[in-house]
Amino acid sequence: MQFNGFPKEGLQFLDKIIVNNSKEWLDANRDDYEKYIVEPNKAYVEEMGEHLQILVPTINAIPNTNKSLFRIYRDARFHLA
């Protein structure tokens, strides 16, 4: 998978999720999330991982959720309330 940058649609998606921050909205827009957020981020992790392994051979750049990528849902560990 080749990293070609982050598409403008990804930034537009992030703008929308700021005002629609709910699981229901994300579920309804899951295809856009996968296409414009997840796939470019996976490509970025793969490509950068190759470069980073030259500097740090023990680094593991794994383009999967809960590896080098975080889930989109809120992580309760960081919730203050």
pLDDT of 37 reads 92
Instruction: Indicate whether 2 belongs to any domain.
Output: no
> pLDDT of 28-76, one tens digit each?
999 999 999 999 988 988 888 888 888 878 877 777 666 666 667 665 5
> Is residue 43 situated within a structural domain?
yes
Q: What phi and psi values does residue 7 have, to the nearest 5 degrees?
A: -70, 155
Q: Quick check: is 28 in a domain?
A: yes
- At 32 the pLDDT is 97
Pairwise CA distance, residues 41 & 43, whole Å: 5
> b/e per residue, 48-62, with b = 16+ CB within 10 A?
eeeeeeeeeeeeebe
Structural domains in the chain (count): 1
pLDDT (0 to 100) of residue 49: 81
Instruction: State the residue range of the domain holding 34.
Output: 8-78
Q: What is the pTM of this model?
A: 0.74
d(CA 43, CA 1): 6
